[in-house]
Amino acid sequence: MRAAILPFLLLGTAASAQTSSTPAPAISVETLKTVTQVLSSDAYEGRAPTTPAEAKTVGYIVERMKAAGLKPGNKGAWTQDVPMVEITATAVQPYVFTGGKTPVSLAYRTEMVAGTYRVVPKVSVANSDVVFVGYGITAPEKGWDDYAGVDVNGKTVVILINDADWQTMSREGPFEGRAMTWYGRWPYKFENAAKHGAAAAIIVHDTEPAAYPWAVVQSSWTGPQLELDEKGDHLDQSQIVGWMQRASAERVFASAGKDYATLAAAAKVKGFKAVPLGLKLSGGFTNTIKRQASKNVIGVLPGTAKPDDYVMYSAHWDHLGRCDPVDGDDICNGAADNATGVAGLIALAEAQAKAGPAKRSIAFLAVTAEESGLLGSRYYAEHPIYPLAHTVGGVNMDVLNTDGRAKDFVLVGAGKSEIEDLVKPFVAAEGRVIGVEANPERGGYYRSDHFSFAKLGVPMLDGGSGEDMVVGGTAAGHAAREDYVAHRYHKPADEYDAKWDWSGVVDDLTIYYGLGRKLADDTSLWPNWYKTAEFRGIRDRDRAGAK
Ligand SMILES: [Zn+2]
């Protein structure tokens, strides 16, 4: 799901390369091109989980893993079943806000979207009191609670996206300044609203702090929605979760006699008190419910000395499937996102297999339903095939750089784990430098599958080409990334392009190869999170329990 990473500042590193003396087998550009082209062709219909395209996609990945020389990764099987439930909202009513100067009715898709985690046939919220809860954050360790002193049980909460200090240019502030924390992410906001008993939770979309335009919200929140199929049918969640456009929120606030900009500014200040708007919300829809399994695909290169320790490479195979048509094209092919990542996974499997088994096992995991909220990786991490305490760490790939060679290599969410120190010599070996994440406010680290592992303690690298291109420098790199975000990201135009330059992909994959090989051959390595990282405690407990 996540958009490309954009660095703005370079930090040189003089670290000498401690790369292995055995030369790495070449990364096959032929493999990268073929796998990307096949998986993003119209025949694969945009690879939506649980559709007929899934069997085709899974079949192709298994075939390529087999040909690469991997063994089935799940006790003799190539796949892991992921129980899912598909909920499709129909007859979605507009959000109607009454009780103000004039009623405000927001149109589905263009002004608002609505969904639910609840596995129920019908959702309805009527005349529910509306409360503006600022950023919707409860962070006791920071002494910050947007819900303090207000009862929102059965009510509707309106929430701002990102966290309170996102406009700070530095990394200083209650929520790491410009960097987005977990508190800034929409899944957190809905989780916290449900904990406070809200009947409906509506996030105000704003392009800059959200890091993507309304079109992305519209395409990902309409049509069939997937969730993990779990006991309890998610009845502990709010009835309605959704979004509205910022301009719509301004109209809603105005009808309540309030100024949106003034209240949004007040929400940035510690001690902000939630504001009842004196409005009532009505909304609802009916659900079509389908329970079915999707699949993660897993292959392994068994280790020689410590086969029960695993190094993990991952990439999501799914994309959005059929989507809103643009110029008559309704297939979101997901070529960059993330056929390139799966192609990288296969190319790495080929290279690692060609180099022969390492001391530890190396696993290659293609997960489902990333675009539906990291579901396949979350399921794997909660039901691991290989115990997480024996999973050393690894690399996740989501959208590889097909714009050509980059001088920099950016660590997303830097400052979290020792994996970052281990990767630096491989970056330096290519004569590249570590770049700093330009848009930490986009919360990139929380937006792809490595986060599912991180949340449960396994340190995973999220890093790759920055935007300082060998040809054209940062101007070229910046223009290329912004063009992707504006015109192709999550749109039918994310298609395979024969003109793509694969040299930057090969550079990045060579680094991932070296890092994976190092983790797999040096059995003394157990990279941990830094002491300040939110996932350190869980890793320490997990490792202490491992034999
Ligand atoms: Zn993706």
Distance 254 CA to ligand 1 centre (A): 37
**Helical residues (DSSP H) of 164-321, grouped into ranges:** 186-195, 207-210, 214-221, 246-255, 260-266
Q: Outline where DSSP puts E strands in 40-187.
A: 71-72, 79-90, 95-98, 104-106, 112-115, 122-132, 138-139, 144-145, 156-160
Predicted pLDDT of residue 8: 33
> Partners of 288 in the beta sheet?
88
Mean predicted lDDT score pLDDT of the chain = 93
Q: What is the distance between the alpha carbons of residues 8 and 272, in angstroms, rounded to a whole number?
A: 33
Identify the residue with better confidence: 464 or 179. Answer: 464
In a domain, 332, yes or no: no
Range of the domain at 231: 87-289
- Going by pLDDT thresholds of 50, 70 and 90, the confidence category of residue 226 is confident
Distance 199 CA to ligand 1 centre (A): 31
Distance 444 CA to ligand 1 centre (A): 11
The residue whose two tokens read 């996030």 is: 203
Residues whose CB falls within 8 Å of the CB of residue 179, separated by 6 or more in sequence, listed in order: 171, 413, 437, 440, 441, 443
Distance 136 CA to ligand 1 centre (A): 26
Q: What is the distance between the alpha carbons of residues 377 and 383, in angstroms, rounded to a whole number?
A: 10
Identify the residue with better confidence: 411 or 537. Answer: 411
Distance 402 CA to ligand 1 centre (A): 14
Phi, psi of 104 (to 5 degrees): -115, 125
* Cβ–Cβ under 8 Å, residues 432 and 7: no
Distance 3 CA to ligand 1 centre (A): 8
* CA distance to 159, 213, 446, 467, 475, per residue, from 8 (Å): 30, 22, 20, 8, 11
Predicted pLDDT of residue 18: 42
**pLDDT per residue over 236-249, tens digit each?**
999 999 999 999 99
- Going by pLDDT thresholds of 50, 70 and 90, the confidence category of residue 22 is low
Residue 167 has pLDDT above 60, yes or no: yes
- Going by pLDDT thresholds of 50, 70 and 90, the confidence category of residue 300 is very high
Distance 370 CA to ligand 1 centre (A): 7
Q: What is the distance between the alpha carbons of residues 136 and 267, in angstroms, rounded to a whole number?
A: 9
Quick one: tokens of 107?
């149109």
Q: What is the mean pLDDT of residues 132-160?
A: 95
Name the least confident of 188-197, 220-229, 471-480.
220-229
Distance 338 CA to ligand 1 centre (A): 5
Predicted pLDDT of residue 317: 98
Distance 72 CA to ligand 1 centre (A): 24
Predicted pLDDT of residue 154: 98
- Going by pLDDT thresholds of 50, 70 and 90, the confidence category of residue 137 is very high
Residue 280 has pLDDT above 90, yes or no: yes
- Going by pLDDT thresholds of 50, 70 and 90, the confidence category of residue 324 is confident
Nearest in space to 2 (alpha carbons), one of 458, 416, 329, 341: 341
The CATH number assigned to the domain holding 103 equals 3.50.30.30
Report the 10 Å Cβ neighbour count for 195: 13
In a domain, 334, yes or no: no
**pLDDT per residue over 462-479, tens digit each?**
999 999 999 999 999 999
Omega of the bond leading into 439 within 30 degrees of 0 (cis): no
Distance 449 CA to ligand 1 centre (A): 9
**What element of type H or E holds 379?**
helix 375-382
**What element of type H or E holds 58?**
helix 52-68
Percent of the chain with pLDDT over 70: 96
- Going by pLDDT thresholds of 50, 70 and 90, the confidence category of residue 547 is low
* Cβ–Cβ under 8 Å, residues 398 and 4: no
Distance 316 CA to ligand 1 centre (A): 7
With b for 16 or more beta-carbon neighbours within 10 A and e for fewer, the 91-113 pattern comes to ebbebbbeebeeebbbebeebbb
Residue 51 has pLDDT above 50, yes or no: yes
Distance 513 CA to ligand 1 centre (A): 20
The packing angle between helices 340-354 and 52-68, to 10°, is 20
Quick one: tokens of 4?
């490309």
Distance 145 CA to ligand 1 centre (A): 32
* Cβ–Cβ under 8 Å, residues 492 and 329: yes
The torsion angle over the Cα atoms of residues 509, 511, 512 and 513, rounded to 10 degrees, is: 90
Distance 545 CA to ligand 1 centre (A): 33
- Going by pLDDT thresholds of 50, 70 and 90, the confidence category of residue 23 is confident
3-state secondary structure of 264: helix
Distance 128 CA to ligand 1 centre (A): 36
Distance 491 CA to ligand 1 centre (A): 12
**pLDDT per residue over 94-107, tens digit each?**
999 999 999 999 99
The residue whose two tokens read 């909920």 is: 87
* Cβ–Cβ under 8 Å, residues 465 and 397: no
Predicted pLDDT of residue 142: 82
**pLDDT per residue over 263-279, tens digit each?**
999 999 999 999 999 99
The packing angle between helices 419-429 and 503-521, to 10°, is 130
Predicted pLDDT of residue 11: 33
* Cβ–Cβ under 8 Å, residues 517 and 24: yes
User: Maximum Cα–Cα distance for the chain, whole Å?
Assistant: 74
Predicted pLDDT of residue 3: 42
**Helical residues (DSSP H) of 107-245, grouped into ranges:** 186-195, 207-210, 214-221
Q: What is the distance between the alpha carbons of residues 68 and 27, in angstroms, rounded to a whole number?
A: 12
Residue 424 has pLDDT above 90, yes or no: yes
Distance 464 CA to ligand 1 centre (A): 14
* Cβ–Cβ under 8 Å, residues 184 and 178: no
The residue whose two tokens read 């990045």 is: 508
Q: What is the distance between the alpha carbons of residues 70 and 61, in angstroms, rounded to a whole number?
A: 11
Distance 337 CA to ligand 1 centre (A): 5
In a domain, 507, yes or no: no
* Cβ–Cβ under 8 Å, residues 139 and 270: no
Distance 65 CA to ligand 1 centre (A): 20
Nearest in space to 166 (alpha carbons), one of 474, 439, 397, 514: 439
Report the 10 Å Cβ neighbour count for 30: 9
**Helical residues (DSSP H) of 168-259, grouped into ranges:** 186-195, 207-210, 214-221, 246-255
Distance 77 CA to ligand 1 centre (A): 25
**pLDDT per residue over 27-37, tens digit each?**
999 999 999 99
Quick one: tokens of 377?
């990786």
Distance 4 CA to ligand 1 centre (A): 10
Q: What's the chain's length in residues? A: 547
Identify the residue with better confidence: 316 or 231. Answer: 316
Residue 13 has pLDDT above 50, yes or no: no
In a domain, 488, yes or no: no
Distance 33 CA to ligand 1 centre (A): 18
In a domain, 316, yes or no: no
Residue 5 has pLDDT above 50, yes or no: no
Q: What is the mean pLDDT of residues 358-385?
A: 96
Quick one: tokens of 418?
């020792």
Q: What is the distance between the alpha carbons of residues 456 and 378, in angstroms, rounded to a whole number?
A: 9
Q: What is the distance between the alpha carbons of residues 448 and 209, in angstroms, rounded to a whole number?
A: 18
Distance 397 CA to ligand 1 centre (A): 8
Distance 515 CA to ligand 1 centre (A): 22
* Cβ–Cβ under 8 Å, residues 315 and 35: no
In a domain, 99, yes or no: yes
In a domain, 311, yes or no: no
In the chain, how many domains are there? 1
Q: What is the mean pLDDT of residues 171-187?
A: 85
Residue 502 has pLDDT above 70, yes or no: yes
Distance 267 CA to ligand 1 centre (A): 31
Distance 453 CA to ligand 1 centre (A): 16
Residue 169 has pLDDT above 90, yes or no: no
Quick one: tokens of 30?
């032929």
* Cβ–Cβ under 8 Å, residues 156 and 198: yes
Distance 490 CA to ligand 1 centre (A): 9
In a domain, 279, yes or no: yes
